[in-house]
Amino acid sequence: MRINLRSVDMNLLVMFDALMAEKHVTRAAARAAMSQPAMSNALSRLRALFKDELLVRTAHGMEPTPRALELQESVHQILLQAERLVHSDSQFDPRTSERSFTIRMSDLVGSLLLPGCMKRLAAEAPGISLDVLHITPERSIRALEEDQLDFAASFELAHGQAIRSEKLFTDRMVCAMRVGHPLASGRMTLKRFLDASHLRVAMSPTDLRFVDSKLAAQGLSRKIAVNVPQWLLVPEMLRETDLLGVVSERIGAKLTSQGIVCKPLPFEAPEFDWKIYWHNRYAHSNAHAWMKKVMLEVAATIAR
């Protein structure tokens, strides 16, 4: 059955996006700059359009149905693409633009890049916003190919010819522990490293590629006491325990003021490059060129 799009109010997609982001009618209304009764009415119309409840009330607030979750990403991407059509790239002016860029980066890279990027946006492009996602490296390439991302900040992503990249900054992995840790003094030997209990960031390919795979090649492994999903948890965990962690040297330099000591790994730890990736479809985009320039210039200040 074909749907007559002329009979569909496309503004409902904007309201659906706000409802899925907030999962609360009043907050969604504020997000979309409309009244609460108008948003309630929009939800009723969305339920009729998609023949699904979409959001259901539970003891923990409003929860999306499977159908709503299925629609969420597609609707969000439709709105992003519509925004790009409306805002002519040839007339892009960062001082007046209100567009949004979707960028994949981990909290590790985000903690290095985002503060500087947001300072630049506040000063030069107050209407531009960033939507930052943390997805797997494999999914990142697919998202770039399917126009679900503007950029990805990562390293050594395997990709085809349609994806381009440029170096942000060089890094390496180091061993981190609290000040006063029994291993904080003296040389970090391989035996001391392997005898200790470790904290690992489960979503980080850097841990696997530059530490665990290196050890596995020698028939060795470290004792992982805890896997955590985010780098944000690492400093506090290291400060409060005798665990060892392996962190980016760039992050380690920031943590030394927070009671953390960093030492070289007791085996070869080659340098690697964090890069920015984008799809060739935006090779002549003024908006993309400007945003990429901002990230590269902020990265250059980190690399000093």
Note whether 80 and 13 are within 8 A (CB): no
Given pLDDT bands bounded at 50, 70 and 90, which one contains residue 85? low
Please tell me the distance from the alpha carbon of residue 137 to that of residue 143, in angstroms, as a whole number: 10
Q: Indicate if the pLDDT at residue 295 is higher than 90.
A: yes
Burial class (CB in 10 A: 0-12, 13-18, 19+), 161: exposed
Return the amino acid letter for 9.
Answer: D
Q: Indicate if the pLDDT at residue 122 is higher than 90.
A: yes
**Domains of the chain and any CATH numbers:** 5-85 (1.10.10.10), 93-170+273-303 (3.40.190.10), 173-269 (3.40.190.10)
Please write the tens of the pLDDT for every residue from 132-162.
988 887 789 989 998 889 999 998 888 889 9
Mean pLDDT of 113-130: 96
Q: What is the mean pLDDT of the chain?
A: 88
Given pLDDT bands bounded at 50, 70 and 90, which one contains residue 62? confident
CB neighbourhood size of 3 (10 A): 8
Q: Indicate if the pLDDT at residue 7 is higher than 60.
A: no
pLDDT given at position 262: 94
Please write the tens of the pLDDT for every residue from 246-261.
999 999 988 988 899 9
Please write the tens of the pLDDT for every residue from 215-247.
998 999 999 999 988 888 899 999 999 999 999
Given pLDDT bands bounded at 50, 70 and 90, which one contains residue 1? very low
Q: Indicate if the pLDDT at residue 8 is higher than 70.
A: no
Q: Indicate if the pLDDT at residue 115 is higher than 90.
A: yes
pLDDT given at position 203: 66
Q: At what angle do helices 36-50 and 11-22 cross, to 10 degrees?
A: 110
pTM for this one? 0.72
pLDDT given at position 146: 84
